[in-house]
């Protein structure tokens, strides 16, 4: 069964992953034109989902991927989102007007892959299951 990255030539895949994968964090996705949600995408896609990825790539060649480790939901975004908070192993980075409590990784230790719409903006939360 194929993976998202199989749409690229083999020699190009690693570069595409580095360029397109979103970091763990919280993103404002209100200005993203379209989001494709793929559920239960453990490590490979079924053929129907792979066809949807191919169509999305043709429509949005500069797409981004949100796929936190062991969360099994993958988001393809037509445009790069605005990063509000980014979690790293060294701590939390955020915009000046955004505060994350508790400090550090917050309480997402079992991972999170969620799209929240209309809060007053659309928010994507990505946090690996560590």
Sorted by where each begins, the domain ranges of the chain are 4-129
Return the exposure string of 46-64: e unless at least 16 CB atoms fall within 10 Å of the residue's CB, then b: eeebbebbeebeeebeebb
Task: For residue range 22-54, list pLDDT tens digits in order.
Answer: 998 889 999 999 999 999 876 679 999 999 999
Task: For residue range 6-25, list pLDDT tens digits in order.
Answer: 999 999 999 999 999 999 88
In a 3-state reduction of DSSP, which class is residue 33?
Answer: coil
- pLDDT on residue 95: 72
Using CA atoms, how far apart are residues 45 and 81, in angstroms rounded to an integer?
Answer: 24
Task: For residue range 80-125, list pLDDT tens digits in order.
Answer: 999 988 876 666 677 777 766 666 555 566 788 889 898 888 898 8
């Amino acid at each position: 069964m194929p993976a998202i990255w199989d749409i690229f030539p083999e020699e190009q895949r690693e570069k595409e992953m580095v360029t397109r994968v979103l970091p763990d964090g919280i993103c404002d996705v209100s200005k993203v034109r379209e989001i494709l949600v793929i559920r239960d995408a453990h490590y490979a896609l079924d053929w129907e989902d792979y066809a949807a990825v191919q169509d999305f790539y043709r429509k949005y060649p500069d797409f981004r991927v949100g796929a936190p480790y062991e969360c099994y939901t993958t988001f393809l975004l037509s445009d790069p989102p605005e990063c509000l908070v980014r979690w790293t192993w060294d701590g939390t980075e955020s915009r000046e007007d955004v505060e994350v409590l508790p400090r550090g990784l917050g309480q997402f230790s079992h991972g999170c892959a969620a799209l929240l719409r209309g809060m007053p903006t659309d928010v994507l939360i990505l946090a690996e299951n560590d």
